[in-house]
Amino acid sequence: MHRHSYKGRKFGRERDQRRALLKGLATSLVEHGKIETTLPKAKELVRYIEKVITKAKKGDLHNRRQVIAALSTQAAAFKLVDEIAPQLTGRNSGHVRVERTRLRVGDGTQMATIGFVDELKAVAKEETK
C-alpha cells in the first residue's frame, strides 16, 4: 500500500492516544519553554503547536477557548495567551525550533529539543489587593 497523501505520524498509537500525546507535549512546551523528546514527536509537535500559537496570538474569546481545548491545563493555556503570545507578534510563523541533540542510550533513537525561537521574558504578575 502506498503512503502518498497520508499526513501525520501514527507513533504506533490509537487516535485518542496520539491526541493525548500531542496535547501533553504541547502543554509541557508552554510550561517549560523547551523540552526534549524524540525527533519524530518533535516534528509532529511543530505542526500542532504552530496552529495553537496562531490562535493564541489572535486572543479573542473563541480562539482562547480553542487554545484551552488544545492544551491539557487551563493554566498553560492562559500562560500561552497572556504571556507568551504577545511576545511572538513579530513573526508570522516559525515560532518553534527543533534541534537534534543525541542518540538515546536505550534504543539508539534520535532525540531532539524543541523550544521557542524568540527569547521569552518572564512576565511579573501584579498582585491585586
- Poorest-confidence range of 20-34, 62-76, 85-99, 111-125? 111-125
Give the model's pLDDT for residue 1: 79
Alpha-carbon torsion (61, 64, 68, 70), positive or negative: positive
Region 14-34: mean pLDDT is 97
The CATH class of the 16-116 domain is: alpha beta
Cell of 55: 490562535
* H-only helix segments in 36-129: 39-58, 61-70, 74-79
Q: pTM for this one?
A: 0.90
Contact 18, 11 (CB under 8 A): yes
Give the model's pLDDT for residue 58: 95
Give the model's pLDDT for residue 15: 96
Domain ranges within the chain, ordered by starting residue: 16-116
Round to whole Å and give the CA distance between 60 and 72. Answer: 20
pLDDT digits (tens, 9 = 90+) for 72-91: 999 999 999 999 999 999 99
